[in-house]
Amino acid sequence: MHDIVSSDRQSVCTTAICTLFEGDYHLGLAAFVNSLVRAGYKGTIWAGFRGELPPWLDQLKRLDGKAGEFMVGSQLRLVFVPLETEIHFTNYKPQFMLDLFADQARGCEYLWYFDPDIFLRCDWTFFANWQRHGIALCEEIVNYRLSERDPLRLTWVEIGAAMGLREPRPLNQYFNGGMVGVGAGHSSFLHLWNRILEQFASMGSDLTKFGPGASRLPYATDQDALNMAAMYTAYPLTTVGPEGMGFRRGEIRMYHAVIQKPWRGSLLLRALAGIPPSDATKFFFTQVSSPIRAYSPWRLRRKRLTCAIAALIGRFYRRQ
């Protein structure tokens, strides 16, 4: 079942989605939302943001008397949630999900978080089935196999022991922080994830910044905190491999533009430097025309042509 969009502020729902964005990530948000429409998702998306609202909102129907609430087509409600936190959004995910469970998403049975540079490739029924099995995670491509006896993981065990955490589960996988699905009955997982982030901060990690902490620290904030939380939660995990985010060949359920943001820089200059457009970049340009038009028609035609030429260059020349 999907969300049932109600007339009051707190939706009665079975499933909802949230994301966080700022600045030019509104272009990724447009592609993400469009991909959800094409996937058949029907329900609510909460989009936490800092700064300006997207410039494409005049294309959407504003809900009467609902500040920051819009309809995308007839089945998807997009709700913008202004945020004032100084914490980098990559480290704010568990808190945002907890706040939603406590307020706007109260009564929701399951909440998905997706980064706004993720674009769904498969039907939403896959995710609806996936969420029945526990906390949903997708393996990273970098260090996607992290042995339970890896020195980094053993350091996390030492940190966990200092926090009073006991009996970590044996894990050999390393998960990407761009997507997580959590049921309301498992929401204490989010508290654990948040608590670990706070522990990292107490050890010197700056949660207002993206990327690794100081070189002496054995973690890179959000993804490591998420993976440490996965070790210590008693709740069931349901996981897919790196192919789930298009990081390698296989059953690709979504594309995650982790390094090359499709809307930034020159695709041609990158191609001439031996870096052709990624599959995520090529897919992005199929997702930005409807129902939200992220670019004007002429600009989108130009970008699609540029992407095609860059991909052609990439067939003959790329970095080894």
Q: What is the DSSP string of 188-200?
A: HHHHHHHHHHHHH
Residues 6+ away with beta carbon under 8 Å from 193: 93, 94, 225, 226, 229
Q: Could you read off the pLDDT of 41-99 as tens digits, one per residue?
A: 999 999 999 999 999 999 999 998 788 999 999 999 999 999 999 999 999 999 999 99
In the chain the domains, ranked by start, together with CATH numbers, are: 15-245 (3.90.550.10), 260-316 (no CATH)
Whole-angstrom distance, CA of residue 43 vs CA of residue 41? 6
Alpha helices in the chain (DSSP H): 25-39, 93-102, 124-130, 151-162, 188-202, 222-232, 267-272, 279-284, 297-316
Please give the average per-residue pLDDT across 22-39, as a whole number: 98
> What pLDDT score does 317 carry?
80
Asked if residue 292 has pLDDT above 50, the reply is yes
DSSP state of 4: B
> What pLDDT score does 8 carry?
39
Closest CA relative to residue 41, chosen from 121, 101, 108, 125: 125
DSSP state of 172: -
Q: Could you read off the pLDDT of 260-289 as tens digits, one per residue?
A: 899 999 999 999 999 999 999 999 999 999
pLDDT-derived band at 205 (thresholds 50, 70, 90) equals confident
Asked if residue 1 has pLDDT above 50, the reply is no
Closest CA relative to residue 75, chosen from 121, 37, 111: 37
Asked if residue 5 has pLDDT above 60, the reply is no
> What pLDDT score does 10 carry?
38
Asked if residue 6 has pLDDT above 90, the reply is no
> What pLDDT score does 11 carry?
39
> What pLDDT score does 320 carry?
62
> What pLDDT score does 157 carry?
96
Please give the average per-residue pLDDT across 153-180, as a whole number: 95
Q: Could you read off the pLDDT of 207-220 as tens digits, one per residue?
A: 998 865 555 567 76
Please give the average per-residue pLDDT across 175-198, as a whole number: 97
Please give the average per-residue pLDDT across 110-134, as a whole number: 97
